[in-house]
Structure 1
Amino acid sequence: MGIRVRKADPGEIEAVGEVTVAAYAAAEVIPEGSGYEERLRDAQARSDGAELLVAVNGEGTVLGTVTVVHPGTVFAEISQPGELEFRMLAVDPAQRGRGIGEVLLRAVLERGRDLGVSRVVMCSAKNMTAAHRLYERHGFTRLPSRDFSPVPGVWLQGFVRELS
């Protein structure tokens, strides 16, 4: 497939923000007037406060991204001690269907194993059913106790994957 996942380079930060906004806009999960588009675009903040990973092709083009978050840090939403959280998994809409989301998800699970955490958690907008199918194929199950609404009009569902 020629796709690899690695930490984002400083020169890729702008591209990461654009890919993230494009993916979330295509999924229609950016509430108008919420300020969420600006948060999605701010990949520098994610790079500073979390682990910002990118999926790139052989030419180094950013095809997708995911933010890996540790509990108690600025980007943590639902993680607790002993867990790893991921957020803002995004694939360039023009690159969908190539397995990029799956490659990113596998990288997150591998990171969790490397860190020795017991679980990986995340939350996803209720209407992102294609993403939910990907998570379920990789052993994630619903975690309703972590569902929440970060902004009016958006309901996020919690998911968990036990690591052995």
Structure 2
Amino acid sequence: MIVRRMLPDEMTAVSDLREIAYRADRLLDASPTYAEALRLLGADGHGEVLVAADGDQLLGTIMFAPWSDRSELARGADEAEVRAFAVGPQARGRGVGRALVNAIVDRARQEGVSRLLLSTQPAMVSAQYVYRARGFHRVPERDWSPLPGVDLLAYELVLKD
């Protein structure tokens, strides 16, 4: 398995992988319309989509999103966000999530980011385990709800003070 940047012709496969992973965990139940937004993240060139691949099979994906006026959690140019973290159901338990999170942390360091932030649903217990194991910690003051009934927990990793 390698982690690399998504190739230009892989956007559809990445979108499919995200949706399959989120649906497998019933993460779209509270907001089915989010599926389309999830599929499109990174398609406009904003952010950098990474994939974990084994040969030509995509196992998982994650997106590095530098601060912009579209940021959900990042509040300035020294912060960035993790978006659209997904591991295919068939690839779970193989270290794919850990490899993707490590790669996104490395990417943030390369960009000189001081804080890397992310949102997660309370039900995303496996993802939260990976985040905490990598050093992310909860920042409840940045928790938010994009829609009624959809509560998101905020985590951050401080890379430099």
- Normalised by the size of structure 1, how large is the TM-score? 0.90
Q: Which runs of 5+ in 2 are unaligned?
A: none
* Deviation per residue, 1:18-63 (Å, 9 max, x gap): 1100111112110356411112222563x52211111111x22211
Residue of 62, 81, 92 corresponding to 1:96? 92
Greater per-residue strand proportion: 2
3-state secondary structure, aligned to 1:150 = strand
Aligned to 1:111: 107
1:78 and 2:76 matched: no
3-state secondary structure, aligned to 1:108 = helix
Supply the RMSD in Å over aligned alpha carbons. 1.5
Aligned to 1:130: 126
1:30 and 2:25 matched: no
Change (3 A) 1:44 1:79: closer
Q: Is the 8 A contact 1:23 1:92 kept in 2?
A: yes
Aligned to 2:46: 49
Percentage of identical aligned residues: 36
What letter matches 2:18 in structure 1? T
CA–CA separation in structure 2 for the residues paired with 1:51 and 1:11:
14
Change (3 A) 1:61 1:87: same
Q: Which runs of 5+ in 1 are unaligned?
A: none
* Number of equivalences: 159
Change (3 A) 1:22 1:67: same
3-state secondary structure, aligned to 1:37 = helix
Cα shift at 1:73: 4.6
Cα shift at 1:5: 1.3
Cα shift at 1:67: 1.1
What letter matches 1:35 in structure 2? T
Cα shift at 1:83: 1.2
